[in-house]
Amino acid sequence: MKNLYLKYSTVNETTFLRHIAYDSVIFGFSGEKLKILIMKYHNTGLYALPGGFMQRDKNLNDAVRRGLKERTGLENIYLEQFYTFGDVARYKPEIMQMILEANGHHSEPYQWMLDRFISVAYYALINYNDVVPTPDALSDSCDWYDMDKLPNLMLDHAEIVAKALQTLRENLERKLVGTNLLPPLFTLTELQKVYEAILGEKLHRGTFQRKILGLGLLQRHEKQFLGKAHKAPFLYSFGD
């Protein structure tokens, strides 16, 4: 039975499943701003989300994790699948053609990339400072962009980003995911800034602290002395 597809396939086609791609919206937090990682393709002026194709012998989720590790260097990332985009309108072979040609890939083994794809979209939350953004073979750069200063993204990637943010906001109320964007030790004010950046609104300090501490999910540690002329805040970590 295994020969069924081998019969029609080149090496590349058997490595990956046709028609299936993934894209990831990788959130980071720095300077009180929410940011995401954006790639720029060689010689095309095209900006895109980090993504990839799906290996035939891997779980979908694992394929995405592997891609994330290549782009960020990190493992054990907080990762959530949020939607699968499957409109016909996202089938624009001329764009992939442009990318391939800009990289000198004219030959057969790459032609399957020109077919129609659906994309399973994930968002990831990472500690900004831990990351070394790394471009892939087709890209010049992989860089952080403020959520409110994104370049024009190719295909439907702007829509993917919008839906990622919407889902993150909804999940923020149900899960304590804000901590995933911070270092292991953080102050409540820092955590509040993360929530404000995600929700896009100011929160009341007293109410926020009462609510977060009331969940009983944070552990209090020593104080953080930064040499500023005011009371030093406690540091917290996530986990009992």
Q: Given candidates 209, 217, 237, 238, which one binds DNA under the rule CB under 7 A?
A: 209
Q: Does 75 bind its own copies (CB under 8 A)?
A: no
Q: Given candidates 33, 42, 56, 69, which one binds its own copies under the rule CB under 8 A?
A: 56
Name which of its own copies, DNA, none residue 120 binds, using a CB cut-off of 5 to 8 Å depending on partner kind. its own copies
Indicate the burial class of 59 (C-beta count within 10 angstroms; 0-12, 13-18, 19 or more): exposed
Name which of DNA, its own copies, none residue 125 binds, using a CB cut-off of 5 to 8 Å depending on partner kind. none
Q: For residues 81 and 25, is the Cβ–Cβ distance under 8 A?
A: no
Dihedral sign computed on CA atoms, order 46, 51, 52, 54? negative
Q: Does 169 bind DNA (CB under 7 A)?
A: no
Q: Given candidates 12, 15, 30, 97, which one binds its own copies under the rule CB under 8 A?
A: 97
- In angstroms, give the least distance from the CB of 199 to its own copies: 15
Q: Given candidates 78, 112, 128, 144, which one binds its own copies under the rule CB under 8 A?
A: 112
Helix, strand, coil content of the chain in percent (nearest 5)? 40, 30, 35
Name which of its own copies, DNA, none residue 187 binds, using a CB cut-off of 5 to 8 Å depending on partner kind. DNA
Nearest to 231 by CA among 223, 220, 221, 239: 223
* Helix, strand or coil, per DSSP, at residue 192: helix
* Number of residues written out for the chain: 240
Q: Which residues contact 85 (CB under 8 A, 6 or more apart)?
A: 118, 119, 121, 156, 159, 160
The stretch among 2-10, 128-136, 164-172, 206-214 that binds DNA (CB under 7 A) is 206-214
Q: What are phi and psi of 154, to 5 degrees?
A: -75, 165
Report the interface residues with DNA, using CB under 7 A: 187-189, 204-207, 209-211, 213, 223, 225-234
Interaction site with its own copies (CB under 8 A):
1, 4-5, 8, 17-20, 54, 56-61, 63, 81, 83-89, 93, 97, 111-112, 114-116, 118, 120, 170, 174
